[in-house]
Structure 1
Amino acid sequence: MIEGLWQGLTGKRMPAGSATTRWSMGIAGSGIVCPVGLSWPTAAAAIRCAIDNFAETEFVDGVGEPILGARIPPSAGAEEAGDGAEMRLTRAVRGAIAQAASSDAALTPSTTAIFVLLPDPQQRPGFPQDRLDRLYRVCLETLDAAPHPASRLYAQGACALAPALRDAWERLRTHEVRHVLLIGLDSLLNVVDIQHELRRHRLLVAGNSDGFIPGEAAAAVLLTLMQEDSDTRAVRVLGTGHQAAERTYADECPPDGRALAAAMQQALQMAGLQAHEIHQRAVDLSGESYFGDESAYAWGRVLRRYSPSGFQTLLMASCVGEIGAAHGPLMLAYLHDAHIKGHAAGENSLFQCSGTGAHRAAVVTSYR
């Protein structure tokens, strides 16, 4: 299985002798700051219990009614009234990074690459390039010293999860770095994005039941190489898939799920698994029928036998709202907690990400 991951990510066969020590990329630590929890354990427990933090915000719809949102709560009175989304995200991502980094005493900034997932400015006008740059710098400066120069920004939204994990594996397998800190942060609770999505009729407001509740979150997972024959169990990334759709949300055509299905199939093949061997599927759906239909069509294209007993479909947005680029790392962090505490439906998981752009992504992990 690891040979498939190696060849799939590098395009080459494993070097001779590599089979004696088999390696995979695993999650060593996680961090979450979101509307239902300011730490990884509390946030994961709240999501598992289906707790949400939806409340009326200061934003209003076209008829003057308050818009529901999922905002990160104040931390020990640190927030000031009127703090903007960028300030909340700054505090949140610092907390998420600190949680994930503290899990491995061997972590040193100089051998750690930081990969940051942020919104695509072409799809999200509330995140222009200068804001992306500021938030990226916050992530780089959170560790005690400068991180490895391989650190980079992925401003492609949630679907950057797959290419970021591919790049992380490449850096780790060549021993260029010892750790990769994968971070996702996003907030739709800002004036520009709220107005933009209102114009596109995407928000859940009076007169539109086919919309999402805007949210915000920051999540981080610490990735490192782990021996396949180790006695220590861990969530290991076995496969990734990434595909561009021919038709997008903006084309106003019904979805067919082909691109998402192709991404799923890539990830499954790389992992050496079939769809019916997946025990839980974590999806970034947030209430819009377009993406719900796409997800159902895509899964139907790859599933050829009954799923295992107890199969689960996990929706983070039912607790934290639409969190964009933070969705992928938050889903990984949540399943990391579920496996450790024995709440997962089984060892194999599939993660899927879509968006209003063309990109679709899928990731397969296993707890072993």
Structure 2
Amino acid sequence: MELYSTDRLAAARRAAADAGLDALLIGPSADLRYLTAYDAHALERLTLLVLPADGDATLIVPRLERPAAEAAVGDAVRLVDHEDGTDPYAIVQDLLGDRAKTVGLGDRLWAEQVLALRDALPDARQALAGAVLRGLRLRKSPAEVEALRRAGRAIDAVHERMGQWLRPGRTEAEVAADIAAGIREAGHATVEFTIVAAGPNGASPHHGVSDRVIAAGEPVVVDIGGKMPDGYCSDSTRTYCIGEPPADFAAYYAVLHEAQRAAVAAVRPGVSAESVDAAARDLIAAAGYGAQFLHRTGHGIGLDGHEDPYIVAGNAAPLEPGMAFSVEPGIYLAGRHGARIEDIVVCTDDGVERLNTIDTELVIL
């Protein structure tokens, strides 16, 4: 199965035309990599895909970046480079002229580039391209699902090594450094994040790491993820305890475990995203911890670590086969400890597949 295909460019052209856009202008981002396979650096020098709704794609790159762009896109996209000291926005003007009345700008373009494009195309109305590309990226192809499976297996392998690194007397930062090395050893190209949150730090969902020494008897939330060489992301959270857990922690971890399993089981085509959130949230609230569940139940994942669909109250959109997202409820007791369980799942034709397959029970080290 081919992961990157020129079919994506054709689909993007059709979607742009259907949305009333004359062209898409996409800078360095997951959107650019999705359309061209090029993982471009975000620089002050302009890199921009110009994709007319009725014409061929052109990728504008700085001259010094041309070899990397050529290696990624091959002959699928025409390349035009610009030298330092020249005006790359004039190239955009030459490509589109006054034919473009409405252009869709990549959601991740820098403000200075957006304003320069406004000057280069003064008669063109600007809109966000994300509204068009979101629909293409929302449902993963079989090749993309397989890429996410590989990412899931790779990050699972890191969690399976946690007993080597997580022990009393070490700091969160020391453990995180070992985890980062393990993420790369498991096949990731980059480490995107390593959250190691022990004791009271576990009550902060995005704590990160610190020089705090991990003590015996403490719960530790470990949320880790990376990006594979093909660009697709991993993300998985497990909660560990160094020795026997505190009684109050064990009690609410059992609630959390049930809630996470219920939310995964609720995933199937046609149900709303918010109903999956409710499957976890209602159980946690009924146990008296509703106020301690501080965030949505999940986020989409693919070439971005966070993308549509979002599994949150208020999102009534129905799930469809190919949608991939996290299911990660948490309970956080400020000043004491916290817990989160996270799997990446994909909605299938008749239900759900967990892409993280290791156990979700509390791991006592």
Query: TM-score when scaled to structure 1?
Result: 0.28
Which structure has more relative contact order (CA 8 Å, sep 6+)? It is 1
Q: Which structure: larger Rg? A: 2
